[in-house]
Amino acid sequence: MATELLHAAEAEGLIARLRALGEPEWLLNRRKNALARVGELAYPHIEKYNAANLRIEEFSHLPEGFGDRAPEFAERELAEPLSAFLPSGAMAEFLAADGALVRAEIAPHLREQGVLLLSLREAASERPELVEPYLGTAVPDGSDRLTALSAALWQEGAFLYVPPGVEVAEPLEIVWVATDRNEGLARHTRTLVVAGRGSRFTLVERRLFADDVRVLATHVAEVFAADGAQVNYQVLHVGGRGARRFEARTGRVGRDASLDVREADLGDADGAILTTLLYDADGGRGTIRFAGIGSGKQRGAYTFSQIHRSRATESRTLVKAILKDEAHHVFNAITHIHKGAKKSTGKQTTRLLMLGGRARGDANPFLFIDDNDLYADHAASAGRVDDLQLFYLMSRGLSRAEAERLLVLGFLEEVLRDFTAGELPEQIARGVERKLGLVPAEAR
């Protein structure tokens, strides 16, 4: 039992409470098993980053009202700038605040097609055949101490199911908001996405955190793209100065399916994010495209893994990040082509741009090749703003600030242009300028 985080009586009380809320026995047993292993397992190995620095023992892991719905939440009262990053007019939207469900709504025409977007606990109870075979399998509950912690104590989860052959034109939205004023809490949340054979859709997941709140946020997301499915998964992070986080996001790509992950981290939290795509069936394709900005004294690590286990699979990883002030981030790009994955292709590129002499970014490319008759390459670079380009722009009449703005936006553009869902491109553009201090203070 993880007595250093939760006393035995508290753990038993938690299980009894969740049983009373209707959580099925199979899920309760998983929680108990994961909780029993938290103390035994090591922290995840992250190259050049010590996950123990998250100091999970400093936080309370059993907040009052665990498992309840959010009592009240008014988006219009959400502090700036977070309200500017909320979706508007989504046909399907899951919204949770401070680890509690606010609403899960879906348009009638999507419901009639069998699309589900609801609380993970509700789905586990009402549609166990869609949840139990998947939950905790892409990111196994016993992988490490932090994923076990999340598996045991997740407070709320989002579940999305798109049936076979269904194509959804409108973006589907999952929004997590953290505004805690009761500092020192841990918030553990999950996302589970099951894309049926031949389905096609775009999912946007927003992680919005208030600043200057001491909170530990862990999040595990699992995405299953069945044979022939096409999933476009776009993730946005905003805020969180003073927060710590750990996120593990893994997708399984079926035969001839595609899973494209687009992630923009404009947040301010410290911690680690692990993104993994697994190709276990022939012909699977996937991309990870990441744009991020580190500022202040942020400390973080990002690991992007593409794991090929079947023939003729294709992966592409493109990372673009800007580090300013005294920020220090580590970027690990891993491509592993296993024995038997012939005819596969794995490409990865990491480009880091430093603004200021005290910022630091480490780009670490890794290629593990266990077979032949395949193609793999990598490229990595870390540098500073090109003085010659800056001089050229200034010679055309631009101020230094305007010239720097054009250069940094142009640097990120290769990734940012792929965010195409609804109002997201405009919101991200504003977020980039805000994070870089490229807009007047009164407009931030």
Q: Is the pLDDT of residue 30 over 90?
A: yes
Residue 240, token pair as written in the block: 């969180």
pLDDT for position 444: 45
β-bridge pairing 244-253 and 270-279: parallel
DSSP string, 51-73: GGGG-GGGSBSS-TTTTPPPS--
**Model confidence at 220, in pLDDT bands (50, 70, 90)?**
very high
Q: Is the pLDDT of residue 1 over 70?
A: no
What torsion do the CA atoms of 119, 122, 127, 133 make, to the nearest 10 degrees?
A: 70
pLDDT for position 103: 92
Of 63-77, 84-98, 289-303, 323-337, the range with the lowest mean pLDDT is: 63-77
Q: Is the pLDDT of residue 182 over 80?
A: no
Residues 256, 398 share a domain: no
Residues 239, 97 share a domain: yes
| Tokens 């600043």, located at residue | 211
**Which one has a higher pLDDT value, 4 or 41?**
41
**Model confidence at 12, in pLDDT bands (50, 70, 90)?**
confident
Q: Is the pLDDT of residue 226 over 90?
A: yes
52/57 Cα distance (integer angstroms): 10
**Within 352-423, where are the H helices?**
387-395, 400-416
**Within 311-355, where are the H helices?**
none
Q: Is the pLDDT of residue 395 over 90?
A: no
pLDDT for position 76: 66
pLDDT for position 17: 87
Position 362 in a domain: no
pLDDT for position 88: 85
Residues 400, 274 share a domain: no
Position 97 in a domain: yes
Residues 393, 252 share a domain: no
Residues 263, 401 share a domain: no
Give the residue among 357, 361, 302, 352 at the shortest CA–CA distance from 325. 357
Q: What does pTM read for this prediction?
A: 0.93
**Model confidence at 6, in pLDDT bands (50, 70, 90)?**
confident
Give the residue among 170, 162, 217 at the shortest CA–CA distance from 192. 162
pLDDT for position 138: 96
DSSP assignment letter at 417? T
Contact in structure between 149 and 218 (CB atoms under 8 Å): yes
Position 411 in a domain: yes
216/61 Cα distance (integer angstroms): 9
Q: Is the pLDDT of residue 70 over 90?
A: no
Position 328 in a domain: no
Q: Per the structure, how many domains does the chain have?
A: 2
pLDDT for position 442: 46
Of 124-128, 185-189, 310-314, 381-385, the range with the lowest mean pLDDT is: 381-385
Q: Is the pLDDT of residue 66 over 90?
A: no
355/383 Cα distance (integer angstroms): 9
Angle made by CA atoms 33, 39, 41, in degrees to the nearest 5: 85
| Tokens 């069936």, located at residue | 281
344/283 Cα distance (integer angstroms): 9
Q: Is the pLDDT of residue 115 over 60?
A: yes
The tally of CA atoms less than 13 A away on the side-chain side of residue 202 is: 15
18/13 Cα distance (integer angstroms): 9
Q: Is the pLDDT of residue 346 over 50?
A: yes
Average pLDDT of the chain, as a whole number: 91
Residue 97's SS3 state is: strand
DSSP assignment letter at 151? H
**Which one has a higher pLDDT value, 403 or 441?**
403
Position 305 in a domain: no
Contact in structure between 38 and 148 (CB atoms under 8 Å): yes
* CB-CB neighbours of 375 under 10 Å: 11
Identity of the amino acid at 106: I
pLDDT for position 4: 64
Compute the average pLDDT of residues 39-59.
92
Residue 269: C-alpha distances to residues 65, 149, 265 (Å): 25, 19, 10
Compute the average pLDDT of residues 280-302.
96
Residue 383, token pair as written in the block: 């540098």
Residue 161, token pair as written in the block: 């199911």
**Model confidence at 440, in pLDDT bands (50, 70, 90)?**
very low
Of 2-11, 94-103, 127-136, 342-351, the range with the lowest mean pLDDT is: 2-11
Compute the average pLDDT of residues 100-124.
95
Residue 331, token pair as written in the block: 């970027």
pLDDT for position 175: 96
User: pLDDT > 90: what percent of the chain?
Assistant: 66
Q: Is the pLDDT of residue 72 over 60?
A: yes
Of 145-149, 287-291, 392-396, the range with the lowest mean pLDDT is: 392-396
Position 311 in a domain: no
- Domain boundary residue, one of 281, 307, 338: 281
- Domain boundary residue, one of 281, 302, 324: 281
Give the residue among 290, 296, 291 at the shortest CA–CA distance from 269. 296
The secondary element (H helix, E strand) that includes residue 275 is strand 270-279
Residues 403, 276 share a domain: no
Handedness of CA 124, 127, 129, 131 (dihedral sign): negative
Residue 160's SS3 state is: strand
Position 355 in a domain: no
User: pLDDT > 70: what percent of the chain?
Assistant: 97
**Domain range spanning residue 29?**
8-281
Residue 72's SS3 state is: coil
Position 348 in a domain: no
- Domain boundary residue, one of 281, 311, 341: 281
